[in-house]
């Protein structure tokens, strides 16, 4: 069985392997021992907080574990509130009009403006599933369980949530958008800039990024074509978030111009449709595949399971109840997959 739980100190090697396998453009999971160990410690501190009245600097990091062999097969995270202690940058895609009635000329031009508009919102981040396990709806589970966690512990998160989608880059990590910025404003390749951001060194952005809006039509053709576009491997993740209610509002990543999507937490499909039911241990007769989590923080567990829902109860097998660390008559939160 694949079970999602809070990351532990002993998961470092597996997290490092995920960072290596994720490749270029995965800013939130750089191959850096100090940073990865820091993320584990920060996550453990977040899960250890017994009472939170508003979102702060907490970063929740989870792993998906194969309980048969103990292997860590994926990782997924939530930032409670971004940009509180260090600037959180985006480009906003806007529009300006150059109009001369006298000469009958009207030009509506797109611009990219550096901004910090998402400061304080929550963020879904660090989603990575290893290749052999990209089947049986495992990727869907690894993404969507975070919405159940947010539904159960709403006080820990902002009312708005975003997700940054990886933009277009080639196998060597070269981004057409960054290539244009590098040529005109930086002397640094995309993987290096992406890595520096991942390890928290962001001052170079404010120092070197253009301070005025960029006219999109001034970019070379290759850069123009990738603004707001996702990496091919990221398209399924984007479609999944869109099915939950996430929408693109014109904000893109400052390095690869990948889209950032946003939503109101309370309006997400899995949040609205999730239910709290009490556990009844037995043998499900008419089963339905559900995404289920317990209602604990430090001992959080989530998984997909075939169960039977009867009124205000859900029938779980003993193995399912054990995996979720719940007993008879305790509550679980669940939603249909």
Looking at domain 2-91+115-270, which of 3.40.50.300, 3.40.630.30, 3.30.413.10, 3.30.465.10 is its CATH number?
A: 3.40.630.30
* Contacts of residue 135, Cβ cutoff 8 Å, sequence gap at least 6: none
pLDDT tens track for 47-90 = 999 889 899 999 999 999 999 999 999 999 999 999 998 888 89
Strand-pair partners of 110: 95
* Contacts of residue 183, Cβ cutoff 8 Å, sequence gap at least 6: none
Helix (H) or strand (E) holding 114: strand 105-115
pLDDT at 222 over 90: yes
Which two tokens mark 206?
Answer: 């404010």
How many Cα atoms within 13 Å fall on the side-chain side of residue 169? 25
Ranges of H-type helices in the chain = 12-22, 33-48, 138-152, 176-185, 190-198, 203-208, 221-226, 235-244, 269-273, 318-324
- CA–CA gap between residue 10 and residue 37 (Å, rounded): 10
> pTM to 2 decimals?
0.91
pLDDT tens track for 262-271 = 999 999 999 9
Three-class SS state of 111: strand
Q: Are 143 and 45 in contact (CB under 8 A)?
A: no
Assess whether 231 carries a catalytic annotation: yes
pLDDT tens track for 12-23 = 999 999 988 887
pLDDT tens track for 102-135 = 888 888 899 999 999 999 999 999 999 999 999 9
The answer to whether domain 274-336 has CATH 2.40.40.20 is yes
DSSP of 92-109, one letter per residue? EEEEEEEEEGGGTEEEEE
Residue 11 CB neighbour total at 10 angstroms:
20
Which two tokens mark 296?
Answer: 């604990």
Domain boundaries, the chain: 2-91+115-270, 274-336
pLDDT tens track for 92-111 = 999 999 888 888 888 889 99
pLDDT tens track for 144-203 = 999 999 999 999 999 999 999 999 988 877 889 988 988 888 777 767 776 676 656 666
DSSP structure class, residue 168: -
DSSP of 268-281, one letter per residue? SHHHHH-EEEEEEE
Which two tokens mark 161?
Answer: 């949530």
Burial tier of 68 (Cβ tally within 10 Å: 0-12, 13-18, 19+): exposed
Catalytic site residue from 16, 24, 103, 231: 231
């Amino acid at each position: 069985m694949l079970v999602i739980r809070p990351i532990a100190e002993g998961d470092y090697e597996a997290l490092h392997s995920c960072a290596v396998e994720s490749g270029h453009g995965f800013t939130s999971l750089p191959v850096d021992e100090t940073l990865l160990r820091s993320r584990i410690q920060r996550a453990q501190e977040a899960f250890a907080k017994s009472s939170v009245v508003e979102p702060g600097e907490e970063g929740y990091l989870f792993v998906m574990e194969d309980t048969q062999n103990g292997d860590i097969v994926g990782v997924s995270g939530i930032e409670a509130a971004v940009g509180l202690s260090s600037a959180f940058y985006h480009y906003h895609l806007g529009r300006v009009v150059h109009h001369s009635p006298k000469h009958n000329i009207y030009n509506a031009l797109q611009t990219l403006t550096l901004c910090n508009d998402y400061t304080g919102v929550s963020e879904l981040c660090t989603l990575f599933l290893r290749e052999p396990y990209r089947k049986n709806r495992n990727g869907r589970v690894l993404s969507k369980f975070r919405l159940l966690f947010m539904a159960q512990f709403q006080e820990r998160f902002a009312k708005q949530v975003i997700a940054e989608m990886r933009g277009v880059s080639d196998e060597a990590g070269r981004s057409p958008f960054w290539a244009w910025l590098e040529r005109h404003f930086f002397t640094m390749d995309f993987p290096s800039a992406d890595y520096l951001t991942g390890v928290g060194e962001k001052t170079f952005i404010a120092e070197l990024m253009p301070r005025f809006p960029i006219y999109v039509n001034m970019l070379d053709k290759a850069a123009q074509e990738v603004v707001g576009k996702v990496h091919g491997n990221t398209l399924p993740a984007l479609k999944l978030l869109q099915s939950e209610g996430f929408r693109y509002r014109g904000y893109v990543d400052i390095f690869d111009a990948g889209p950032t999507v946003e939503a109101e937490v309370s309006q997400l499909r899995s949040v609205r449709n999730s239910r709290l039911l009490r556990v009844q241990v037995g043998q499900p007769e008419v089963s339905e595949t559900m995404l289920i989590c317990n209602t604990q923080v430090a001992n959080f567990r989530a998984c997909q399971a075939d169960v039977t829902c009867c009124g205000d109860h859900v029938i779980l097998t003993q193995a399912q109840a054990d995996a979720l660390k719940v007993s008879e008559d305790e509550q679980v939160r669940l939603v249909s997959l």
